[in-house]
Structure 1
Amino acid sequence: MTEPDLTQRLCALFATALDLDEVTPDTDFFVAGGHSLSALELSVAVEEAVGVRVRVRDIFDAASPELLAARLAGLAPGTVEPAEPAAPRQRPAAALPGAEVAEATRWLWLERQRGDGAFGAYTVPCLLDGEGAVDVDRLAAALDGLMRRHPALRTVFVEAQGEPRALVTDDVPPLEVIDLRGHDQGDARLDALVEERLAVPFDPSTGPLTRTTLFLRADARWSLLLLADHLVCDGRSLEILATQLVAAYADPAAVGPPVDRPAHRSSDQEAALDHWRRVLLPPPAPLPLPVHGPRTQRAGGSTGIAVREIGPDVLRQLTDLGRRHHAGTFVPLAAAVARTLAGITGSTDICLGTPVDRRARLGANDAVGFHIATVPLRLQVRDEASADDLVDQVAQRTVDAVDHSGVAFDTLVAALAPPRSPGRMPFFDVWVALYPRIDTGPCAPGGIALRGGPIPQRVGMFELSFQFVEHADGMRLWLQYDTERYAADTAERMARRLVDEVARLLADPAEPGPEAALTHRAFSGFRFDA
């Protein structure tokens, strides 16, 4: 394929990834609305079309079709890693019950076994407000169809020879319906009922690992609570479920055939581990965070939440800052978190934990399940560095983390063997994640629409978790903190400082380049990990 032909082919692939009618050869992928997750999806699409290995780093460094074509033109075809099932860990799968699980799922399962039974931390909660006159029977039928389409939603996990095995059952939990229309304090009662359901953990060995509740409210309003165990669901799964539920409600045939279980693709684990050795060794020292007591128990058994709002104007500026550095909104937010932690602790070596969605690499873009990897982001934060220098560093680290996310976190820990402290995660103390607002679009005649997103929990997996949640009027910070380790006023000060650091970051960017003046589609939203 000649370079001009390759450029035109890449234009079509860029347009598909960006959901645009067309793009020009000089269109910057990130300025046009791309981020690290959509870059991962684009890299896989280019691999399949061109036949050479393409990394997120390639798109980060050559962000337009013409630049990427020039970068790829000299590469030899046939270097793509083949997709093949992973080798059994012990003996042939036929001799053990169920199916082997992915490395990331295995790590999550092992974390639960090491815990104290507070499995509520592993619940993925989502509350959606409905639009349109809902027919309970149609909604139940649409939900039943989705449960049968996605085997992850009917999976339980059993132990065999000390390892988890996945068993797909025929059990489909029914839709629970609660009528609050005659209740004097319907909204307060709704909040209480949601809290009650969040407090009930899932049992991975018996299932079912999903629960769905329809709340019928006054004035023809209604809400839908989706709860799932993290072993079978992640943040992107919630968006997939909401979108497909609306489509199935309108047309049961839209459910589609059952989704195949994604293949475990082989990857160059040693090359990935070499990357992490360079980044993480020697290991970062534990941050001297302002805890008010010793870490004697696992983090997250009881948590509080400090809340701060980030308005639409600030969110737009954060998005623009991220785009200038070929990144999504997560990158400047993570930079602000790093600065916050550096200011609180006096440390310049800051390591954050964050999730990476690996669906594109697994060929599972529309599959419900647990398809994320935990990765560390190690950053050097110094006062003399400009905001743009810090944001650029976070962007670079994020790209490399996505490209080397094929190593499960427990495998990474075992290979690098960092010192372990009681009650602390290896490599990082603080978790950072950004969650999109779910919006299925306008409500069609006779149909329904769903809007909302994740809701906070009273238990967690980490001692400090900066969770940024998009909503209709901007973004909300939930700083979830372990109440056994942090005083409420300490958490409030950290949340306030984060907001101050966001303002400081935005007050000190480099002058925007000429690309900032281009007119492009509005930012379409972060997908869990950008």
Structure 2
Amino acid sequence: MADLDPTRRLCTLFAEALELDHVTPDTDFFLAGGHSLSALALAVSVEEAFGVRVRVRDVFESATPELLAARLAGLAPGTVPSAAAPHRPPAAAPDIPAPGSTPPGTAVADATRWLWLERQRAEGDFGAYTVPCLLHGEGPVDPGRLRAALAALARRHPALRTVFVEFRGEPRAVLTDDEPLFDVVDVSARELSEARFGALVDDRIAVPFDPATGPLTRATLFLRTEARWSLLLLADHLVCDGRSLEILARQLVAAYADPSAAEAPRGPSVPRSTDPEAALRHWREVLLPSPAPLPLPVRGPRTEPAGATTAIAAQEIGPEALRHLTDLGRRHHAGPFAPLTAAVARTLAGLTGSTDICLGTPVDRRALLGAEDAVGFHIATVPLRLDVRADTSADDLVRHVAQRTMDAVDHSEVAFDALVAALDPPRSPGRPPFFDVWVALYPHIDTGPCAPDGIALRGGPTPLRVGMFELSFQFVEHAHGMRLVLQYDTRRYASDTAERIVQRLVDEVTLLLRDPAEPVPAAESAHQAFGGFRFDA
């Protein structure tokens, strides 16, 4: 590509990130289907090609090849900082030695260490640390071939064979030869209703993993009728995240059709250099002074950890509304996450009377780690601090959320526990630092048409009985739209309170999509919606 001018080189990189045959110099990355995750991948590829530091914000503010070329012209070559050595996924490790000898296995990334420590501090049920995915199959399935395909993927992805042992108070990753557990449950002789099948799935999900013994991945094939089957994939969060589920489903289908596909060598890992000090400076500016706890409508004082017992309240967002949400996000250089999060922020502002709303959300860091197709735990927890005022227009709020999300991605190299330690915010019992509410978007998993003598998988994550937060807004895309799921702590919130929160969120989504020329009805006050409930900070 050395003979190409910068704009033409960028057109090629844009097309690769968007998975398009070609783009023109004036193609807007986000209007063409880009979002924060693909913008991160583009930023990394542009940085590698041009040898200058490129942020997601650069793509956000210069969203066409010609605009980004002009922006890059103002950056000095060789400005990629060396900084601290980046973290790499766990590598192969020897067997566990005798106590007191050389440390077992390998050290883990900071984000994995934080998750392991959180798990050690947790009490009771560890089911909140399970990543569940229910996929519905198409095509005649051979259980033996499916088992062999999953075993082949475990050989390709070390995370699926990794366990975690404690050494002097710290986690160490140890690679094993274990294959994921695989079993077949034939329920074709029973006429199971969807509710009874769901209960069967929930029972499997409820069995926690032991990080020290493993295997930390399980699969259950449910044979429901002659032509109807489902696959439940379960993994411990230490070795799996939401994106891993999509990678596993896609590669499982490929390995089922051609076993050699799972043995294809993976490309070299080239992690991007990081600048933790710059990231901490950013977070100090954004998070200090710390956001005040939201006066949410809980039933009593928060005396115990959140999420020990949860339930869900849910509503559907239809395909037409989802299309409009996606279009709204693209107008502001984002995907549907930005308008959905804006609606959550408005909902919480209306409930609490606060204009300072801080949410927690996951950021996929694979592009930064050089691990695009790797299964494992490659996410960072980041706070999104938002200024939500009653007179802010929908467009301005969505733009604000999109900008804060891009900045969070750009400064996600600091693990959450390191961020908390550095900023030292005030602590309250029974709640995490900085935020009370979690928000996440889960894209629909669809491996495409079923090939002859092959299979196809479609589905996505399924809610847990336990959680890590008192309120978790989960937006789960599916083939016919999106499901809005509020997972709530039943010891802190009554079921009718949760239902009202969900309905209010649906109303806020409707308001975001309203024609700007139409009058906006006055928002219902927190006391009107929740009169009689006790607020507790």
Superposition TM-score, scaled by structure 2 size: 0.91
Name the structure 1 match of 2:389. Answer: 382
**Of residues 361, 382, 385 in structure 2, which corresponds to 1:354?**
361
Matches within 5 A, 1:387-466: 387-466=394-473
Give yes or no for the alignment of 1:480 onto 2:481: no
Q: CA deviation at 1:447?
A: 0.6
Q: Secondary structure at the match of 1:231?
A: helix
Q: Secondary structure at the match of 1:480?
A: strand
Question: 1:284–1:349: 8 Å Cα contact kept in structure 2?
Answer: yes
Give yes or no for the alignment of 1:225 onto 2:229: no
Change (3 A) 1:2 1:251: closer
Question: Once the two structures are superposed, what CA deviation does each residue of 1:82-136 show, in whole Å capped at 9, x if it has no partner?
Answer: 5985599xxxx99421111111111111111111032100100000000001111
Name the structure 2 match of 1:26. Answer: 26
Which amino acid in structure 1 is aligned with residue 8 of structure 2? Q
Matches within 5 A, 1:9-408: 9-82=9-82, 85=85, 95-185=102-192, 187-257=194-264, 266-408=273-415
Which amino acid in structure 1 is aligned with residue 213 of structure 2? T
Question: 1:388–1:509: 8 Å Cα contact kept in structure 2?
Answer: no
Q: CA deviation at 1:294?
A: 1.1
* Alpha-carbon distance in 2 for matches of 1:506, 1:186: 36
Q: Secondary structure at the match of 2:469?
A: coil
Question: Once the two structures are superposed, what CA deviation does each residue of 1:488-526 show, in whole Å capped at 9, x if it has no partner?
Answer: 000000000000000111115599xxxxxxxxxxxxxxx
* Alpha-carbon distance in 2 for matches of 1:157, 1:195: 25
* Alpha-carbon distance in 1 for matches of 2:269, 2:414: 17
- Unmatched 5+ stretches in structure 2: 95-101, 519-537
Q: CA deviation at 1:219?
A: 3.8
Change (3 A) 1:217 1:186: farther
* Alpha-carbon distance in 2 for matches of 1:263, 1:3: 24
* Alpha-carbon distance in 2 for matches of 1:398, 1:407: 15
* Alpha-carbon distance in 2 for matches of 1:206, 1:340: 43
* Alpha-carbon distance in 2 for matches of 1:438, 1:157: 29
**Of residues 461, 465, 477 in structure 2, which corresponds to 1:470?**
477
* Alpha-carbon distance in 2 for matches of 1:40, 1:510: 35
Question: 1:288–1:345: 8 Å Cα contact kept in structure 2?
Answer: yes
Question: 2:163–2:176: 8 Å Cα contact kept in structure 1?
Answer: yes
Name the structure 1 match of 2:97. Answer: none
* Alpha-carbon distance in 1 for matches of 2:20, 2:266: 27
Q: List structure 1 segments (4+ residues) > 3 angstroms apart after TM superposition.
A: 1-4, 81-88, 186-189, 257-266, 508-511
- Unmatched 5+ stretches in structure 1: 512-530
* Alpha-carbon distance in 1 for matches of 2:177, 2:85: 25
Q: Secondary structure at the match of 2:360?
A: strand
* Alpha-carbon distance in 1 for matches of 2:271, 2:366: 11
Question: 2:160–2:216: 8 Å Cα contact kept in structure 1?
Answer: yes
Change (3 A) 1:422 1:204: same
Q: Secondary structure at the match of 1:377?
A: strand
Q: CA deviation at 1:256?
A: 2.7
* Alpha-carbon distance in 2 for matches of 1:463, 1:293: 13
Change (3 A) 1:141 1:327: same
Name the structure 1 match of 2:528. Answer: none
* Alpha-carbon distance in 1 for matches of 2:268, 2:160: 12
Name the structure 1 match of 2:523. Answer: none
* Alpha-carbon distance in 1 for matches of 2:184, 2:384: 43
Change (3 A) 1:508 1:384: farther
Give the number of aligned pairs: 507
Which has the higher mean CA deviation after the structures are superposed, 261-270 or 449-458?
A: 261-270
Which has the higher mean CA deviation after the structures are superposed, 250-259 or 214-223?
A: 250-259
Which amino acid in structure 1 is aligned with residue 480 of structure 2? D
Q: CA deviation at 1:80?
A: 2.2
Q: CA deviation at 1:76?
A: 2.2
Question: 2:316–2:482: 8 Å Cα contact kept in structure 1?
Answer: yes
Change (3 A) 1:186 1:383: closer
Which amino acid in structure 2 is aligned with residue 452 of structure 1? G
* Alpha-carbon distance in 1 for matches of 2:168, 2:514: 56
Question: Once the two structures are superposed, what CA deviation does each residue of 1:446-484 show, in whole Å capped at 9, x if it has no partner?
Answer: 110000000011100000000000011100011000000
* Alpha-carbon distance in 2 for matches of 1:365, 1:258: 14
Q: CA deviation at 1:263?
A: 7.2
Q: Secondary structure at the match of 1:214?
A: strand
Which amino acid in structure 2 is aligned with residue 373 of structure 1? A
Change (3 A) 1:374 1:508: farther
Which amino acid in structure 2 is aligned with residue 48 of structure 1? E
Which amino acid in structure 2 is aligned with residue 52 of structure 1? V
* Alpha-carbon distance in 2 for matches of 1:308, 1:107: 33
Change (3 A) 1:302 1:318: same
Question: Once the two structures are superposed, what CA deviation does each residue of 1:335-361 show, in whole Å capped at 9, x if it has no partner?
Answer: 000000000000000000000000000
Question: 2:84–2:274: 8 Å Cα contact kept in structure 1?
Answer: no
* Alpha-carbon distance in 2 for matches of 1:250, 1:501: 45
Q: Secondary structure at the match of 1:306?
A: strand
Question: Once the two structures are superposed, what CA deviation does each residue of 1:11-50 show, in whole Å capped at 9, x if it has no partner?
Answer: 0110111111110000000000000000000001111111
* Alpha-carbon distance in 2 for matches of 1:462, 1:487: 15
Over the aligned positions, Cα root-mean-square deviation in angstroms equals: 2.1
